[in-house]
Amino acid sequence: MRHIKLFEDFTDPGMGIPIINVTRERLSELEEEGLPVRTGVVGIEANKMAEKKGAGKPLDVIDKIYRCGNRFAFELKEMEILETLSPGDPHLIEDNKDRLNFMLAGNARFTVKNTQSGNRFTYRVRKLQGSEDGPFFVSVLTSPDMYTFIGTVFDGKRFKHSPKSRVGQDAQSVRTFDYVFRHVLAGNLPASIQFWHEGKCGKCGRTLTVPESIANGIGPECAKRMRDRK
């Protein structure tokens, strides 16, 4: 049994590659329409992603290709659907470099969850407007829709609690941010701590739509801009 991640309803305007939906609901709809899909329908972009995740080379996961209106349907070899993604869905960022890049992208919102204790905090990290390298202002979600300032990241490296903050230095949200930031920076955040983005680009806040972006939290245009700057 292969394992593969499938992605829902993506289009790739730049490439003109047809990307097809894979939810189970949609699948049964397609089957009702008599389309010869068995396990799912998947786009090329999703396949690339599958390849990256070690699910096999694109052609290894596709048995047959069918024309399906102006799209293509792929009959997949037998596999188990682990996950489907939709634009705007929160998603784990699993790589520490991606996490750091996301945290310091300029307008990042993310949730860290300790899977052992069940504790979680949601943070917002904003870069000083107009600045190239910060400082970055860190806030924690303290009630629905309300973020409270807790401190500042300087030089992209040092988090300092603000004495002006209404949240004390010893508050768990402050200690957790400090801990997570240091360990992400060092590349050794323990596996028991999950890092979730909220389905929005960490730089511009727009909804993430392509698989690559959903995986690392940065939209394609912003990712390009960030690469160009380096």
Q: Is 81 in the site for Zn ion (CB under 5 A)?
A: no
Residue of 22, 185, 201, 214 that binds Zn ion (CB under 5 A): 201
Dist CA 44 CA 28 (whole Å): 21
For 213, the enclosing helix (H) or strand (E) is helix 211-216
Between 40 and 106, name the residue whose CB sits nearer to Zn ion.
106
Residue of 56, 204, 207, 226 that binds Zn ion (CB under 5 A): 204
Task: Please state, in angstroms and as integers, the Cα–Cα distance from residue 95 to each residue in 68, 92, 98, 100, 151, following that order.
Answer: 36, 9, 5, 9, 24
Smallest distance from the beta carbon of 128 to Zn ion, in angstroms? 18
Count of residues binding Zn ion (CB under 5 A)? 5
Q: Copy the structure tokens of residue 197.
A: 């983005």
The answer to whether the beta carbons of residues 55 and 5 sit under 8 Å apart is yes
Dist CA 226 CA 133 (whole Å): 12
Q: Is 151 in the site for Zn ion (CB under 5 A)?
A: no
Q: Is 200 in the site for Zn ion (CB under 5 A)?
A: no
Q: Is 203 in the site for Zn ion (CB under 5 A)?
A: yes
Q: Is 219 in the site for Zn ion (CB under 5 A)?
A: yes
Smallest distance from the beta carbon of 82 to Zn ion, in angstroms? 26
Binding site for Zn ion (CB under 5 A): 201, 203-204, 219, 222
